[in-house]
Amino acid sequence: MKAYFYDNLPGDQRLPHDSGREVTVSDLEKVGVLYFRIPELEGVNALASERGYKNRDEITISPEKMGAIYETKVKQFFDEHLHEDEEIRYIRDGAGYFDVRNEGDEWIRIKLVKDDLIILPAGIYHRFTTDDTDYIQAMRLFKEEPQVDASQPHRRA
């Protein structure tokens, strides 16, 4: 895991866009994002049951796995959105970036690699992209069935 402020410069979303301004784990906590490095699945199972998670799935995001829809999917994930419930992402392989808004609406970019786990609080605005390796395998854990309220605006007014 490495976190920093996004540089907001134009260019491929899959490039690092590192402003050079670092963000710490305790800065992430201030916006409600919790980070853990968990090398064994048992640790994830324990955390999930402690916090009342009921569902999970595994997703592989890569051109090999997704074929022609890969580019469309990656653009969709990078569309700013929120989830109604707290959700967990646990990286099984590869790497990718979660961008989350801080209290001042600035983008914080969180680079996640294998064995990294983040807990996104309910209602946080965020977006996701693969990095320039175009490959990530992740477990998504949900408290209820996955749901995004389509009536919610994607961007703040």
Interface residues with ligand KMT (CB under 6 A)? 59, 77, 89, 96, 128, 136, 138, 140
* Residue (27 or 66) nearer to ligand KMT, CB: 66
- How many whole angstroms from its chain centre is CA 94? 13
Closest Cα to residue 123, out of 95, 97, 103?
A: 103
* Residue (89 or 109) nearer to ligand KMT, CB: 89
Closest Cα to residue 121, out of 102, 94, 97?
A: 102
Q: How far is the CB of 89 from ligand KMT (least distance, A)?
A: 5
Number of other residues whose CB lies within 10 A of the CB of residue 82: 18
Feature table: binding site for Ni(2+): 81, 83, 87, 126
Q: Is 36:112 a contact under the CB 8 Å cutoff?
A: no
Q: How far is the CB of 135 from ligand KMT (least distance, A)?
A: 11
* Residue (21 or 133) nearer to ligand KMT, CB: 133
Feature table: binding site: 81, 83, 87, 126
